[in-house]
Homo-oligomer: A and B are copies of this chain.
Amino acid sequence: MADAALDALIDSLRCLPGVGQKSAQRMAYHLLQHDRPSALRLAQALETAVSEVKHCARCYTFSHEPVCEVCLDEARERQLLCVVESPADQAALERTGSYRGLYFVLMGRISPLDGIGPRDIGMSALLERASDGVVQEVILATNFHAEGEATAHVLSEQLRARGLKVTRLARGVPVGSELEYVDLGTIAHAFMDRR
């Protein structure tokens, strides 16, 4: 029971969001008791993902290739740039099928309490990206809670200072919620009503 390898596994599983000591122990026991092949498959998948999943040079989302499929898609409206916090939010927007422009993924949001400022998210890269002369409108689709709103506020000021039109997803999205958990219809409506 006092096994170093088992303890190390339990400890490592706690790096997963939402997994505490008790869940980590349950996961470790489950894998070792019932599903060692899956444990090895997960180990391999983690290593492969870490080595192969990179960031798109243009929009910064996860990508296998130097530039992602969305950024390369000629059918996209290149004058529209939608700013999201994460690839999960981008995926949620894509699933609605209601947006045909391009994206920029911040990979975070401003959070003064956690010491995350504008420099810790991709703000300067966004300002450069949005100033390419093709983008005419930046749609801020950060989440609708305090940190997402603060992020949108800061980005909005900076983008407007550079002469860009800035809009925000309409508040059809329930306040306080995370985009990736919102139903598709609400998001589609919020795209239409952007202000």
Question: How many residues of chain A are within 8 Å of chain B by beta carbon?
Answer: 58
Number of copies: 2
| A90 engages B48 (CB within 8 Å) | no
| B46 engages A3 (CB within 8 Å) | no
Given contacts A49-B5, A49-B32, A86-B33, contact A43 B43 (CB under 8 A): yes
**Which chain B residues border A5 with CB–CB below 8 Å?**
45, 48-49, 52-53, 64
| A15 engages B42 (CB within 8 Å) | yes
Q: Does A91 contact B (CB under 8 A)?
A: yes
| A108 engages B33 (CB within 8 Å) | yes
| B45 engages A1 (CB within 8 Å) | no
Expressed in whole angstroms, the Cα–Cα distance for A50 and B28 within the complex equals 10
Interface string of A1-23 (1 = CB under 8 A from B): 11111101101110111100001
Interface string of A39-81 (1 = CB under 8 A from B): 1111111111110110000000111100011100000000000
Interface residues of A (CB under 8 A from B): 1-6, 8-9, 11-13, 15-18, 23, 25-36, 38-50, 52-53, 61-64, 68-70, 86-88, 90-91, 94, 107-108
Q: Could you list 8 further interchain pairs (A-B, Cβ under 8 angstroms) beyond the known A12-B45, A15-B41, A18-B23?
A: A1-B61, A1-B91, A5-B52, A5-B53, A8-B45, A11-B45, A28-B49, A29-B62
